[in-house]
Structure 1
Amino acid sequence: EIVAATSVPVAIAALHPDAAEGRVVLYLDADELVPGNLATMTLALELATTLARARGEVLVLGPMAPSTLETAGIPVPTTVDHRDGEQAMEEWATAVTQPGDLVVVPILDTEIQPTAVRVYRSGRSVVAVKQNPETATAAVVTPMTLQFDQTVGG
């Protein structure tokens, strides 16, 4: 409810202590590529790209193909490592990721929460993001605004 009521980008993170050690992985489902979701998918891609670049890594993206994003007008870095597979988030994450990885997902509906919790409980860190369509995405994420080497609140 809070996410739906705000006009600013929102990121909700559930991080394991080893979140800075694993790969940055972006989950995007081609079935969810509709006009109302483009802003959130763009934000998720920008966040994941920034995190991977800050770590000196190649971003892992799937199961949606980078060409599908580009056809929708969302530019994708040329160094993305595409991993095809099962469309459902939990099954794809289990097949493609490993404990310690950081999985970035867009919040496109209320069904994401239980799935994200199960992915987190499997040892993967999860960052879920939402950009309401009435507000434009801005490049506000930099490596200096997101640090995974510190404990939140402690």
Structure 2
Amino acid sequence: MDLQSFFFREDLQLTAIVPFINIILFVLLFTVVMRIPLVWSAVISVMGYFAYVLLQVALVQLTFGYLSVNELTLHPEKGYLLQTISSVLGIGGSRVFYMLGGGFTFDFEKLRLKREAIYVYTLIGCALLLTIWLLYSGNTLIDVISVSIAFIFFAYYAVKKEKDR
């Protein structure tokens, strides 16, 4: 996935659609390899991607300009540093969350959705299109607000389904 991401960003100059392609590939991975229903694969993929975006935006803000978008553009090594810090914090935070009993344990097969799937597909599609548009606009405050709202919705949706079970 890193290789295709690099190819789309650097060789084809399609930076704005790389997140969409990555999410689609994650959905396919969960659906085909892990045998998770398509709707749940999409929910998991979008939640994970948006959580990672929020983590990176928080890191950029907390570095007070050292890892700003302009700095990342001028100094690619700072981008690698941001990726490394994000990965360490993301994986570490996920492990702690899991060790504290967090996560989803429901039986995906019992929770296959019917009419609800149409709404979820539509919402995921809208969230992905909004993400692509936001990348073109370049306004980080709007990015953070939009991604936060989408993440909160998907987290609420997934937790609600877990509790309904």
**Higher strand proportion, which one?**
1
Q: State if a TM-score over 0.5 links the two structures.
A: no
Q: TM-score, normalised by structure 2?
A: 0.23
Q: TM-score, normalised by structure 1?
A: 0.24
Between structures 1 and 2, the one with greater helix share: 2
**The structure with more radius of gyration:** 2
